[in-house]
Structure formats: C-alpha cells, structure tokens
Amino acid sequence: MKTRQIFSLTTRIVALPGQRHALAEILLKGSKNVPGCLSYVIASDPRDENSAWINEVWQSEASHRFALSLRLVKEATRAALPMIAGVGDGRYERG
C-alpha cells in the first residue's frame, strides 16, 4: 500500500500591535478553497498578544508551492504584509 506524503508547515507570525485579528482574517480569507490545502488553522498565541501560530497541511510540498502562485494567495499576502512585524522564531516543516 502506497502512503501519501503530505506536507505540513507551522509558523509563528508577529503582527504589528493591535493587528493580529485583522491579519488572521486576511490570511484565512486568502486560504479558502485553495487546491491542495487540507487544513489551514490560525491560533492566537496566549503568551503574546501580537503573535499567532499558522498550521498548514497540504497534499504535497508541490501543492503548497503552487498555491503561492495563485492570484488569491498573492493578493492576501500583499494585503497582509503591512500588518506583519515579523516571522517569529518558530517555523517547522514536515513532508
């Protein structure tokens, strides 16, 4: 039996002060109905009011790369960039 090789990515993102909720909304909207995306979850970091953890699960690493080329994803990224203070110290990939 062949096992499917999924790709997962977990990233901590830091929003500008007071922008975490708005940033999460933009990122969630930009991830809706993206081909190959099995799960896209954003969780608030309880220890930092400006940080959130994004957990993504994809059919494959290639499907994740393809999604980054989609207009919807590019538009969400452009809209989110002004709200991002940085990417936190956590980024974990498995695939």
3-state secondary structure the chain: CCCCCCEEEEEEEEECCCCHHHHHHHHHHHHCCCCCEEEEEEEECCCCCCEEEEEEEECCHHHHHHHCCCHHHHHHHHHHHHHEEEEEEEEEEEC
Domain span including residue 19: 7-94
Task: Place 5 in a pLDDT band, splitting at 50, 70 and 90.
Answer: confident
pTM, rounded to two decimals? 0.84
The answer to whether residue 2 sits within a structural domain is: no
Residue 58 inside a domain? The answer is yes
User: In total, how many domains does the chain have?
Assistant: 1
User: Tens of pLDDT along 55-71?
Assistant: 999 999 999 999 999 99
